Amino acid sequence: MIEIDDVDRRVLRLLHEDGRRTFSDIAPQVGLSVAAVKRRVDRLRETGVITGFSVQVDHAKLGWGIEAFIELSYTGTTRVNEIVRTAYKVPEVQAVFTIAGAPDALVHVRVRDIQHLQQVIDGLRHAGQVTGTKTLMVLGSWNRAS
C-alpha cells in the first residue's frame, strides 16, 4: 500500500476532474510550487497510483445511448479467465467484473438501441458455458472522483 497525504489526494482529485490540467493550474489550488506538483505527480505515476490518463466520451452523442449491466451465470466448472475471455470477444462490452457468489460476472455494455441489446445478450448467452443472464438497464449514473 502506498502512503499518500491530503495534498496528494487533492492533486489526484484535480487530475481526475481534468487529466489535461497543467501543473501550473494545480499548484495554487494545492499550495505548492509547479515543480513540487510535478514531483508529486511523477512519484504517483512511478509508484503506480496513477496508471494513466484518459478521455471521457459522451457515448450517446456517438449513437451508443443505452447502457446496461448483464449478470452472467456459468456452469460450476468454468474458470474465471474463461469468463473474461467470453465477454472480451464482444465489442459492446465495456468492462467485466468477476464476482464471488451468484452471479459469476457482471458485464457492462453500451449499445445503440434495444434490438442491439437483445443481440448482445443472445451472443453472450451462446458463448462459453453461460447458464443464465439477467439484464439491468442504466437510467442514470454518478461517479465519485477519486
Helix (H, G, I), strand (E, B) or coil at 130: strand
Each residue of 77-125: pLDDT tens digit?
888 888 888 888 899 999 999 998 889 999 999 999 999 999 999 999 9
Contacts of 81 (CB under 8 A, 6+ apart): none
Each residue of 2-17: pLDDT tens digit?
899 999 999 999 999 8
145 phi and psi, to 5 degrees? -70, 135
Q: Mind spelling out the 3-state secondary structure of 41-85?
A: HHHHHHCCCCCCCCCCCCHHHHCCCEEEEEEEEECCCCCHHHHHH
Helix (H, G, I), strand (E, B) or coil at 26: helix
The domain in which residue 34 lies consists of: 6-46
- Residue 84 is assigned to a structural domain of this protein: yes
Each residue of 110-122: pLDDT tens digit?
999 999 999 999 9
Note whether 33 and 72 are same-domain residues: no
The terminus-to-terminus CA distance of the chain in angstroms comes to 16
- Buried b / exposed e across 116-131, counting CB within 10 Å, b at 16+? bbeebbeebeeebebe
- Is this model's pTM higher than 0.85 or not? no
Note whether 65 and 129 are same-domain residues: yes
Note whether 74 and 125 are same-domain residues: yes
CATH of residue 78's domain is: 3.30.70.920
